[in-house]
Chains A and B, each alone.
Chain A
Amino acid sequence: MAFIDRIKEIMSSSGIEAEVSEGKGFIKVKVPLEQWEEAAKALASNGFDHVKTVTIVDYKARGVFEVAYHVSSFLDTGLAKYIIELSTEIPRDNPVVKSLVGIWPSAEFLERESFEFFGVVFEGHPDLRPILLLDEVVAKHPLRKDFVVKEEGIFR
């Protein structure tokens, strides 16, 4: 059985309506926001033991943030060669998503980082504070697309 079919099976057996597709260097698993936590639990109980990145992409034109966790396994060498991208979309004007730190403790600092750069609130995170930036910078959500880097413009 192809690996992608195994992921499809994991999702459907947990009753999750996931769009599973092959990406370049990863397998994309897109789930609805309501089933976010269940999807993570399904992956975690099937051996995906850590989070590599928490990646947020700002699609300003569509008014959404894409929240993507790239997960894989350390202990199961059969799974280790795959990267699963568990993703969902949240509205830009109400950027709240359930924290997955309870399922994957390795996401703790990564969620804090996404929180400060995008203003995305991870509900249920045990310690949601900025980690790299100062508070006044955090307020501007520097990685959002509407934050434009100011240049001196001397050579313009």
Chain B
Amino acid sequence: MSASPALKDEIKLPGMDLKKIGKDLYEVFIGPQHPGSGHMRIIIRVDGDVIVEADPDLGYVHRTMEKLAEGREFIKVIPLMERMAILDACNITLPYVEAVEKLMDIEPPPRAKYLRVLLCEINRIASHLYGMGIFGVFLGHSTMYMWPFGDREVFVELAEKLTGARLTHTYAVPGGVRRDIPQGFREMAEKAARYMEKKLEDYKRIFLDNPAIQKRLVDVGVISKNLAAKLGIVGPNLRASGIRYDVRIIEPYEAYDEIDFEVPIYEEGDAYARAWIRVMEIKQSLNIIRQVLEKMPQGDPLHEKFWAKAPKLYKTVYETTGRAKLIPLYANLKVPAGRAIARAEAGRGEVIYVVESENKTKPYRVRVVSPSFRNAIVFKYIVPGHRIADLPAIYGSIDYFPPEADR
């Protein structure tokens, strides 16, 4: 079927580049200006409205973080790396800090470990809420977009209370954290937790139990257990395919081994399971936050090696306000030569750093692989076989975040 030549210029789809390849095959460029989260493109080939091939095209927000890291001091790499997932800043930079600590052979004091876990879980909730909101808008469910985005603010404010910054907190530094819990934080956290528990019920009512949403998500984008392992996907997506892999339990870091929590697992591996798992993980994160505030030991927030070298004024500030300012020693921190690897469970999955130092103030090599980059392979192998209308459902369910993938 071809259009009348007189109409050729008139019939152009705005923002879509259509190319006829074979008799029944068309190539469609979806993105990089996306209706949902943006900054990435999927080139698909369709037969009718069935996708037969998909090629994810990444890199629209690539910032050469690994190269930039080689040109700056160890401490300055933290605010750099944070930029890949600003809502998830503590999780996404924690393995870097841990790798530097491994190279320096120091361990943060117990209180600092708990404080790190506290912020990591606040970040995880905010990150999941963001992902759920994007998921909602992908499915045309405006309420599910507005509600989690609004509720995310609660946890952004909680993080602000704790660290002084809404996003990109640079909270964990080698040897500890930069601030202690401020007055009134516990009450605030409890209020936030109670509010969130109530809202999760609302999400269930309007979104997860909604028959229209179930029709669009159940049995869509199924990733089997073996395929998930082969593709190397991570995070909630992996656990929604029945694999019990979470760095927090596999190789507990910080204070996670002293905390009692469950890791939700779903066997179905479809988009619906991936929607549920984020809600269940938020519940567990609230549980962890409560436990941390209860169990947290007393003590310094920074390793004594650093704390001993802090100017007197800094100690006075800490004793009166609870703020541990970043001590000048960090500016020229020399890290012993060697290579260290550390990983953590960020909101979207496992993040891993390889840090190599040659006993200088700047790293020789920093390699980071983010969860979204490892999840991107899903688009190539899971999308084909589905209809175009399923693509937003699959994309949204993966919680793919381009700045994090592109680094």
Which A residues have a C-beta under 8 Å from some C-beta of B?
23-26, 49-53, 55, 57-58, 68, 70, 74-75, 77, 80-81, 83, 85, 104-110, 113, 117, 130-133, 142-143, 147, 149
- Taking a contact as CB atoms under 8 Å apart, the answer to whether B62 and A149 are in contact is no
Chain A positions within 8 Å of B75 at CB level: none
Name 21 A/B residue pairs within 8 A (Cβ), A-sorted.
A23-B340, A23-B341, A24-B102, A24-B103, A24-B339, A24-B341, A52-B343, A52-B350, A52-B374, A55-B354, A55-B365, A57-B364, A58-B365, A70-B341, A80-B250, A80-B251, A83-B352, A113-B373, A130-B59, A132-B58, A149-B71
Residue contact B377 to A106, C-beta cutoff 8 Å: yes
Give the complex CA separation of A52 and B234 in angstroms.
10
Given A25-B99, A74-B229, A80-B250; A110-B245 close (CB under 8 Å): no
Q: Are B377 and A108 in contact (CB under 8 A)?
A: yes
Residues of A within 8 Å of B229, CB to CB, are 49-50, 74-75
Q: For the complex formed, measure the closest distance between the CB of A26 and the CB atoms of chain B, giving whole angstroms.
A: 5
CB distance from A25 to the nearest CB of B (A): 4
Contact at A77–B350, with CB atoms within 8 Å? Answer: no
Q: Is residue B315 within 8 Å, beta carbon to beta carbon, of the partner chain?
A: no
Q: Are B231 and A106 in contact (CB under 8 A)?
A: yes
- The A-B contact count (CB < 8 A) is 103
Provide the main secondary structure of the chain A interface: mixed
B121 contacts across to A, CB distance below 8 A = none
A106 CA to B381 CA, complexed, in Å: 11
Q: Is the CB of A106 within 8 A of B230?
A: yes
B280 within 8 A of A: no
Closest to A107 in B: B232
Q: With A77-B244, A109-B373 as known contacts, state yes or no: A52 contacts B340, CB within 8 Å.
A: no
Chain B contacts for A70, CB-based, 8 A: 341, 352, 354
Roughly how many angstroms separate A83 CA and B406 CA in the complex, as a whole number? 24
Contact A109 B250 (CB under 8 A): no
Cα A139 to Cα B360 in complex, Å, equals 30
- Write the chain A residue with the least CB distance to B341: A25
Of B58, B238, B339, B406, the contact of A74 (CB 8 Å cutoff)? B238
Chain B residues with CB under 8 A of A83: 341, 343, 352
B342 at the interface (CB under 8 A from A): yes
The docked-state distance in angstroms from the alpha carbon of A23 to that of B377 is: 29
Q: Which residues of A have CB within 8 Å of B376? A: 109
In contact, A74 and B228 (Cβ under 8 angstroms): yes
Check: B356 CB closer than 8 A to any chain A CB. Answer: yes
**Which residues does B use to contact A, with CB under 8 Å?**
58-59, 62, 64, 66-68, 71, 99, 102-103, 225-226, 228-232, 238, 243-245, 250-251, 338-343, 350, 352, 354, 356, 364-365, 367, 369, 373-374, 376-377, 406
Q: Given A53-B369, A80-B250, A149-B71, A104 and B232 touching (CB < 8 A)?
A: yes
Q: Return the contact of B68 from the options A23, A53, A149 (Cβ within 8 A).
A: A149
B251 to A, closest residue via Cβ: A81
Q: Which residue of B lies closest to A28 (CB)?
A: B339
Contact A50 B230 (CB under 8 A): yes
- Give the distance in Å from the alpha carbon of A68 to the alpha carbon of B62 in the complex: 23
Query: Knowing A52-B352, A142-B64 touch, does A110 contact B369 (C-beta < 8 A)?
Result: yes
Residue of A23, A75, A81, A149 contacting most chain B CB atoms (<10 Å): A75
Task: Let me know if A24 and B245 touch, CB within 8 A.
Answer: no
Give every chain A residue within 8 A of B228 (Cβ-Cβ).
Answer: 74
Residues from chain A with a CB closer than 8 A to the CB of B230 are 49-50, 104-106
A133 to B63, CA, bound (A): 10
- Contact between A55 and B68 (Cβ–Cβ < 8 Å)? no
Residues of A within 8 A of B243 (CB): 74-75
Specify the chain B residue showing the minimal Cβ separation from A71.
B232
Q: Which residues of B contact A142 (CB under 8 A)?
A: 64, 67
- Checking B66, B251, B356 against A143 with a beta-carbon cut-off of 8 angstroms, the contacting residue is B66
Q: Are B339 and A23 in contact (CB under 8 A)?
A: yes
For B340, the chain A residues whose CB sits under 8 A away are: 23-25
Cα-based distance from A147 to B66 in the complex (angstroms): 13
Shortest C-beta distance, A141 to chain B (Å), equals: 11
Determine the chain A residues whose CB is within 8 A of the CB of B373 once the complex forms: 109, 113
Q: Do residues B352 and A106 form an inter-chain contact, with CB atoms below 8 A? A: no
Q: Which residue of B lies closest to A53 (CB)?
A: B369
A70-B352, A106-B231, A143-B67 known; A25+B342 contact, CB < 8 A: yes
- Residues on B with beta carbons closer than 8 Å to the beta carbon of A133: 59, 62
User: What residues of chain A lie closer than 8 Å to B62, measured between beta carbons?
Assistant: 132-133
Distance A51 CA – B233 CA, assembled complex (angstroms): 10
Collect the chain B residues with CB atoms within 8 Å of residue A147's CB: 67
How many Å lie between the Cα of A49 and that of B233 in the bound state? Answer: 12
B334 → chain A closest CB, angstroms:
17
Q: In the complex, A131→B350 CA distance in Å?
A: 21
In the assembled complex, the Cα of A147 lies from the Cα of B374 at a distance in Å of 27
Contact of B367 among A25, A50, A55 (CB under 8 A): A55
Shortest CB-to-CB span from A10 to chain B, Å, is 19
